Amino acid sequence: MTTSRAATALALVLLVSLHLSPAAAATDAPASQVLYRTVTIDGLDILYREAGPKDAPTVLLLHGFPTSSHMFRDLIPALADKFHVIAPDYPGFGNSSAPSVEDFDYTFENLANVIDKFTQEVGITKYSIYLMDYGAPVGFRLAVKHPERVQTLIIQNGNAYDEGLDNDFWKPIKAYWKDRTDAQGDGLRSLLTLDATKWQYTHGVRNVETISPDTWGHVQPLLDRPGNQEIQLALFYSYGSNPSLYPQWQEYLRKHQPPTLIVWGQNDAIFPAAGAHPYKRDLKNLEFHLLDTGHFALEEDGATIATLMRNFLDKQVKQ
């Protein structure tokens, strides 16, 4: 018998002795192992990361611009020993389908509809939602539509108040909402460059050496795909649909009082701390933390956020 055949035979003997089939051995993984899966929603392939026991409380992680579920790559294993964690990529982002603007209407209403159908397809009916940046208008739409499903909110630089948009970053985008011309749109293309992406990750951090270049190294090639700038410009315009819904989202908070954890990078120039404080007006069960970091707070303070989340979820969600 050759060495390779002997090794194969030994492996089969071990599998039999452990009462495992080769197929089971190939698919079984520790609960904390992050799995990369895809489901089809309305003809779109939606990639998602998943880890943790499926009978544990679920945390739905909703990413921001211009990243994807990649932003949660370290948070997921930090929670997965005792929580079921799931993080999808929106259409046009990460490794999900990215049809052209002619083939898919890139609005926040449509992104929310896809993620709503995604939650049904993967079978999660109760969850805490992590809202970050674009994740806020997606997640608040879910919460208003299905308040009975939301157990808690974790809000990290996710806006629901006019005060959060009252800054210089939003002035050219607000101008685009009022006048959707090619000239106005072309003026926003600078927000899709490598320099702008690096700035989002590094502005406001305590120590830039803690920020991995793998972040913009992952994001920028996706932004640079043919047709993706048009996708992002469509969503810049669609963001203008969100402020008119803020009163509805705030009413949801006042009426349903979801236990909420705020972990906010206070040096964020896009969604500054001015957008974090108004949550205090509407929420009674609120744990509030401003962190000395920037927009992508997980990059510098991921361990702190994971600890705060674990403690918060332990108190607020039945195991």
Catalytic site positions: 295
Bridge partners, residue 267, by sequence: none
Side by side, the strands of the sheet bearing 150-155 are 35-41, 44-51, 84-88, 58-62, 127-131, 150-155, 260-265, 286-291
Phi, psi of 85 (to 5 degrees): -115, 135
- With vertex at residue 185, the alpha carbon angle to CA 240 and CA 276, rounded to the nearest 5 degrees, is 35
DSSP 54: T
Q: Where are the strands (E) in 112-176, listed by range?
A: 127-131, 150-155
Query: What sign for the dihedral angle of Cα 291, 293, 299, 300?
Result: negative
Task: Calculate the CA 50 to chain-centre distance.
Answer: 13
68 burial level (CB within 10 Å; 0-12, 13-18, 19+): buried
Tracing tokens 């349903």 back to the chain, one arrives at 256
DSSP strand pairing (44-51 vs 35-41): antiparallel
